[in-house]
Structure 1
Amino acid sequence: MPIVHTSVEGEQTIEDILDTIGDQHARDVLAAISREPRSAKELADECDLSLPTIYRRLEVLESNDLVVERTAVSGDGNHYNIYECNFDSTVIQLEDDEYKVRIYRRENLPDRFTQLWDDLGKD
């Protein structure tokens, strides 16, 4: 899968991203789900944090588009939410007295094709 980069856009501000990744608990959650998607309960156990703390961090991470929530089905047919990292890496750069944050994401091939097609139509 190709890696693409996007600048911080929309309602996200550089301050929001820096505040989010500046929080140790948020970084612990990101580190855990960067290895594989996990449920909130699994994250609480692995990070040695309470469930309310995990849910607060997941909410902030989701609001900054750093985490996505998906539904998983267990062997007994029950549904539960899992969380996974929504990026591969982040680069924070200071250039001309201005901070720039780039978030590198993996896109699947159909999304990449759609983006290329849309870009061609803009010319």
Structure 2
Amino acid sequence: MVRDPFAEGTEPELTTVLEALCDDDCREIAETVESAMTASELSEACDVPLSTTYRKLDTMTEATLLEESIEIRADGRHTSRYRLAFEEVLLSIDEDRRFELTITRPARTADERLASLWSEVKEGL
């Protein structure tokens, strides 16, 4: 399932983000991912077993720290590609001493916004 960290109402739970950020492999992936990379590319670049990489990618997409997209290939096979879905993660405490999580997202291109809109339209059909 492809998760869209930019969609309204997809703000993750604080604990979900903290668990991802506390994980050494997840932080390594975040430091390594360039543009859009496959799980295999990230596994190799981070020197993490592929099965572990898939689990970490799932953790990070659940925390909306990575954006997952599907690449359709001419041979009919498809693959997921991952890229960073944040510029900054801030943890603060408000005046009532509750933790607040703020995730700053990168600006989306017109093509990305259109693709997201089209995806929402298709779900409504």
TM-score, with normalisation over the residues of structure 1?
Answer: 0.68
Q: List 4+ stretches of structure 1 deviating above 6 A.
A: 74-77
Taking the aligned partners of 2:46 and 2:10, their CA distance within structure 1 comes to: 31
1:36-64 CA deviation, whole Å, 9 max, x = no partner?
22111111111110001100011111112
Taking the aligned partners of 2:52 and 2:77, their CA distance within structure 1 comes to: 24
For residue 100 of structure 1, what is the aligned residue in structure 2?
100
For residue 123 of structure 2, what is the aligned residue in structure 1?
none
1:12-57 CA deviation, whole Å, 9 max, x = no partner?
3212211111111111111112x32211111111111000110001
Taking the aligned partners of 1:54 and 1:107, their CA distance within structure 2 comes to: 27
Say how many residue pairs are matched: 103
| Bigger RCO (CA 8 Å, 6+ sep) | 1
Paired letter, 1:37: A
Structure holding more strand per residue: 1
Aligned pairs for 1:1-123 within 5 A:
12-33=12-33, 35-72=34-71, 79-96=78-95, 97-108=97-108
* TM superposition shift of 1:109: 6.2
Specify the SS of the correspondent of 1:29: helix
The runs of 5 or more residues in structure 2 that have no matched partner are 1-5, 114-125
TM-score, with normalisation over the residues of structure 2?
Answer: 0.67
Taking the aligned partners of 2:107 and 2:80, their CA distance within structure 1 comes to: 22
CA RMSD of aligned residues (A): 2.7
Paired letter, 1:89: E
The runs of 5 or more residues in structure 1 that have no matched partner are 1-5, 112-123
